[in-house]
Structure 1
Amino acid sequence: MINPSDKAAEDPAAPAQVRRGTQSIQRVVALLRELTAHNKKGASSSQLAASTGIDRSTAHRMLQCLVGEDLLAFDNETRRYRFGPLAYDIGFAASERLDLTQLCKPTLARIADDTGDTVFLMVRSGDDAVCADRAVGSYPIKTFVVDVGTRRPLGVGTGNLAILSALPEDVADLILGHNAGRIGAFPGVGLERVRALMVHARKMGYVAMDVVGVQGVRAVGVPVFVGGKPVAALSIAAIAARMTPEREEKLVKILGRESEALGLALDRRVSSDAG
């Protein structure tokens, strides 16, 4: 293991203040890199300090600073750190090299043409999901239930629930704990209802539910997997009278087919970029 402080002394000609600043950055990066390997369960400050060779008090100060900037989150019960909202936003911004929204446009357009309904692309961003795009079908009654750019906690909304339900149970439970307060702020939504819908979604492989806060509208949604992880969701919304059980089943098949094809295309894009 290389102590980050060793690298900071590589240029003895540099001013002392510059060397100290560089050393601090290297230490922060070392902490973040180590946390990446433990983010599923998180890691304590002592654990991160020991694995990076950074003094415990120094590591603690740096980690708390990162929490203050929303790059990390701290769980008071477990005393562990994990990545926070800003880290996921940075990751999402970095993933734009894939031009995810542009790559998904043909898929959304095809679904809208096939069904006549409004189609939404939700993309995970930390404990939330963001509406990255939507496409409008030919049916005269439009259902613009969420605008592009809208951010909601995972668990609120069809696409968001589809992503949450596809995550490992322990990860989903942790996210629900983080989102509990915000979820309760939405009308007709609570943790017990979200958990019940999540159990049903895991069993069925898709989400079908009344749209949150919009009467007379239902939606169906499925997750999109890239590298085996649910990074996005495709969903269709329409007036409830149009969403008979038979039609919902048909829409789920269309979404499932398109989701699988989209996931494979994104996997190939990631592989080609890595190569």
Structure 2
Amino acid sequence: MPKAKTDKTTGTQLLDRAISILNHLGDAGADGARMSELADACSLNASTAHRIISSLENHGLIERIAGTRRVRLGLALFALGAKAADGTGFRRACHPSLLRIAAETGDMVFLMARSGFNTVCVDRQEGAYVIETLTGQVGGQIPLGVGSAGQAILAFLPEAEAEAIIAANATAYKAFNQLSADDVLARIKEIRELGYALDHGQLIEGISALAMPIRLNDASIAGALTINMTSARLKPKRLEGLLELLQREIAVIRGLINPYEVRAAKPQARPAG
């Protein structure tokens, strides 16, 4: 019996370390990382890191970058992420709206949702104008409260819950253009009044983002639709048209998804940072 307990503990530790490696590679992006970097970042010795990385590679969860000694996230993870996003039908119901918005505006459109203390990119659609974003590809995460989508979601959560999330993420905010918890609190109060969130180059100079929360028929928050563009493309008259477009598409989405399924499927995560 004692031996079985030890085996179980070891298995749990290995799983935690594998997840730590995957999270670090997620932050590293397309350039990936060397095995030594992963070992240092995850506090592993070389042999343990090699064993875990080899196992993850065998399952397609990470891959080696040709001609280098670096590894990055593998395509199998993206496939799993797509399946998870479609689990409730949320992504599937919203995707036509992303296509229509991108076609009409020419800008990049994102479907963002809450994952514990983070905002995660569930889906994205490129338009004629492609720009760099904080979350990158589908599955990318940033702390809730960073960016227009996260602030739009926070603003319509129960007030005590939103404040608890902001407090948990406070130390992580500084990495994003010295954003503070007080800044986020002030912005979500304004967003509640407006019904939408606008970042007009405050987070990334020259890049604007407009987000509107997807509020379901039971008043819960499923996520947010976000349009990203260069600030030069966001004129006051155009803003009015974009808001009308978002409102129209969100009305369509509300008629397609079951609020109880979406709410029950929300994943939890540890605070960012």
Answer whether TM exceeds 0.5 for this pair.
Answer: yes
Shift of 1:136: 1.4
Shift of 1:143: 2.1
1:246 maps to what in 2? 237
- Larger mean CA deviation between 210-219 and 92-101 belongs to 92-101
Contact 2:89 2:257 in 1 (8 A): no
1:93-172 map, 5 Å: 96-138=86-128, 141-145=129-133, 146-147=135-136, 148-172=138-162
Q: 1:223 to 1:268 in 2, by over 3 A?
A: closer
1:71 maps to what in 2? none
Normalised by the size of structure 2, how large is the TM-score?
0.60
> In 2, Cα distance between the equivalents of 1:268 and 1:182?
30
**Structure of greater relative contact order (alpha carbons < 8 Å, 6+ residues apart):** 2
> In 2, Cα distance between the equivalents of 1:232 and 1:93?
18
Higher alpha-carbon Rg? 1
> In 2, Cα distance between the equivalents of 1:211 and 1:130?
21
1:209 maps to what in 2? 199
Q: 1:255 to 1:102 in 2, by over 3 A?
A: same
Shift of 1:100: 2.4
Give the SS at the match of 1:155: coil
Per-residue displacement from partner, 1:101-150 (whole Å, max 9, x unpaired)? 22221110011111111101101111211011111123xx4223131221
Per-residue displacement from partner, 1:152-211 (whole Å, max 9, x unpaired)? 111101111110011121111111111111122211311122122111111100001135
Matched, 1:191 2:200: no
Contact 2:152 2:213 in 1 (8 A): yes
CA-based RMSD? 2.5
Q: Which sections of structure 2, spanning at least 5 residues, go unmatched?
A: 6-81, 263-273
1:56 maps to what in 2? none
Q: What amino acid is aligned across from residue 201 of structure 1 in structure 2?
A: I
Contact 2:196 2:211 in 1 (8 A): yes
Shift of 1:212: 5.9
Q: What amino acid is aligned across from residue 175 of structure 1 in structure 2?
A: I
Q: Which sections of structure 1, spanning at least 5 residues, go unmatched?
A: 1-16, 22-91
1:58-77 map, 5 Å: none
Taking only the aligned residue pairs, the percentage that are identical comes to 34
Contact 1:223 1:234 in 2 (8 A): yes
Q: What amino acid is aligned across from residue 254 of structure 2 in structure 1?
A: G
Shift of 1:230: 0.8
Matched, 1:234 2:234: no
Contact 1:189 1:212 in 2 (8 A): no
Contact 2:114 2:223 in 1 (8 A): yes
Q: 1:150 to 1:223 in 2, by over 3 A?
A: same
Give the SS at the match of 1:129: strand
Contact 1:157 1:212 in 2 (8 A): no
1:265 maps to what in 2? 256
Contact 1:158 1:207 in 2 (8 A): yes
> In 1, Cα distance between the equivalents of 2:150 and 2:227?
13
Q: What amino acid is aligned across from residue 187 of structure 2 in structure 1?
A: L
Give the SS at the match of 1:238: strand
Q: 1:130 to 1:245 in 2, by over 3 A?
A: same
Contact 1:157 1:211 in 2 (8 A): no
Q: What amino acid is aligned across from residue 258 of structure 2 in structure 1?
A: D
Q: What amino acid is aligned across from residue 158 of structure 2 in structure 1?
A: P
Per-residue displacement from partner, 1:54-98 (whole Å, max 9, x unpaired)? xxxxxxxxxxxxxxxxxxxxxxxxxxxxxxxxxxxxxx9877422
Matched, 1:255 2:246: yes
